[in-house]
Chains A and B, each alone.
Chain A
Amino acid sequence: MVDKKRKHPKEIIKAESNALNFSYADGTQALKNINLPVYENKITALIGPSGCGKSTFLRCFNRMHDLYPGNKYDGEIILHPDNTNILDKRVDPIEVRMRISMVFQKPNPFPKSIYENVAYGLRVRGEKNKRVLDDKVEEALKGASLWDEVKKRLHDLAFNLSGGQQQRLCIARALATDPEIMLFDEPTSALDPIATMNIEELMAGLKEKLSILIVTHNMQQAARISDYTAYMYLGELVEHDKTNKVFTNPRKKETEDYITGKFG
């Protein structure tokens, strides 16, 4: 796999949105004709000013918008390699969410123990075997570099953890079910710089196993961690390219203005 990649610098597309439009129940069109690939084992960052639609776009990937009646999708998001259109009405959103997990802006652990939080996704899938659960929980907590901090108190309430730990717990929870893509919606905006650094390091490690799509308000963060960057503005995708290209030599004037802080 690694050799193949070296020979072929062209990346593998894990998912892509084609002509995606989205409008909310009140009629506002939040996304306009978005075409964006998400590459396998890469971090794609979505940047742009508030209200540009980057979170809305992210939440299309796990059909979060289905929770609120009246929202309308148009276009498709194809998940490779099986070419499933995530937005197809015939595709079960629960199936989608099992393959694409999400970490939210504010840590939102469940009112359960640390162990049960991580085991939640597995239990939802019907896993009952205690040994399988134990192993998976340990693996996921290690994957989220939280294991050493919590291994002695797995059955403590998750709310007793610090904010940064809670967010890593949410990552472990999302990780436990072996997702193919992980969505991060401004995962560090509620955290202090040290916790932020931990999460960023974590993401850099996670991309070995899966593909990451992250919304961030912090341009330095996008520059630090992502391989690809997409700049969105007013529901449109303005520019999408390799991160160093977007940050050093953007094609569009708007992108440059935003990145250099002239605007936004």
Chain B
Amino acid sequence: MAKLENPEVSPRLAKNLRRNILERCIEFGLLCSGIFAIFITLAIIYVLVSEAIPFFQHVSLYDFLTDTVWTPNYSIKHYGIMALVSGTLTTTFIALLVAVPLGTITAIYLSEFATHKVRETIKPVLELLVGVPTVVFGYFALMLVTPLLQKIYPDLTTFNMLGPGIVMGIMIVPYIASVAEDAMRAVPMAMREGAYAMGATRFQTAIKVITPAAISGIIAAYILAISRAVGETMIVAIAAGQQPNFTFNPVESAATITAYIVSVALGDLEHGGIGYQSIFAAGLTLLLMTLMFNIIGHAVRKKFAERY
């Protein structure tokens, strides 16, 4: 600041100094918000790990991963996380089976075929679907979708993974459609004109040129959808039953990791007890699963982005 008072410094330089200080302040502010986000993530991981460590002192990692029964709150205790992982994977898989084709087709339609007016009408409606509370979706699965499915397949139990899986898929469609559509619309018009000028039809342009051009964005949409499905709680907690069950059969009832956490966390648990700690072990598993899907997704994305 002494320089500011120095008469030899030109007013222009003084202005530069002030500008530099301001610039530094902004830079620092931005850095802080970035660090804050990282800090929160690290804090979550720290809590999960620190509570899970005593759990794993009790239960061997081998039992945790190979046992297929999960009964931490019963008198005969079993800690086989696979009973919960199977439920999570099955419901997620069903959801993706519904959401990926539906979401992708919606995105292609909105981006390449719909007129401006249609797009401006449909998009907000789709985004409204995102705003529906998941608890509503849960009852929708339990009271409407499962009874409908029972008409086709009478042996279906009231609590099953198929109904909530499908509903979860419907819930995710707007996520995929919206992100994938943004990616496709971001493809420069020159690319479309190039394809049309070659005599391609609209459909050929959309499938053979625009989709591959936007593929990394479309895969990002899928990754988002997977994370959303793996982490989804209310729908499966309400409509899939809360009984941990090692099965990949969608017509059976089962609990997902999230459903277990929510059901146990709501009961009276002794703080520091093994049942309490099991939540953190389950939470850590969930985090690692999401992380794994993200890493796979990024790798796939990179590979595709290079080929195309």
Contact = CB atoms under 8 A, between A and B. Distances in A.
Interface stretch (A98-106, A242-250, A252-260): A98-106
B266 interface: no
Interface in A147-182: 157, 170, 173-174, 177
B115 interface: yes
Interface stretch (B28-36, B186-194, B269-277): B186-194
Query: Which of A64, A101, A112, A177 has the most chain B CB atoms inside 10 A of its CB?
Result: A112
Interface of A: 62, 64, 67, 69, 94-95, 97-98, 101-102, 104, 106, 108-112, 120-121, 123-125, 157, 170, 173-174, 177
B197 interface: yes
Interface of B: 115, 188, 190-201, 204, 208-209, 212-213, 215, 306-308
B303 to A, nearest CB: 12
Nearest to B307: A157
Please give me the 5 A-B residue pairs with the lowest Cβ-Cβ distance, nearest first: A108-B190, A102-B197, A98-B199, A111-B308, A97-B199
Given A111-B212, A111-B308, A124-B204, A104 B198 contact: no
B196 A104 contact: no
Contacts of A174: 197-198
A110 B191 contact: yes
A111 B194 contact: no
A106 B194 CA distance: 10
Nearest to B308: A111
> By CB atoms of chain A within 10 A, which of B115, B194, B198, B201 has the most?
B198
User: Which secondary structure characterizes the binding site on chain B?
Assistant: helix
Contact of A64 (B188, B196, B215): B196
Contacts of B215: 111
A104 B199 contact: no
A177 B198 CA distance: 9
B211 to A, nearest CB: 9
Given A108-B188, A111-B213, A174-B198, 8 more contacts: A94-B201, A108-B190, A108-B193, A110-B212, A111-B191, A170-B194, A173-B198, A177-B199
A62 B208 CA distance: 21
Nearest to A110: B209
Contacts of A177: 198-199
Given A98-B199, A108-B190, A157 B213 contact: no
B221 to A, nearest CB: 17
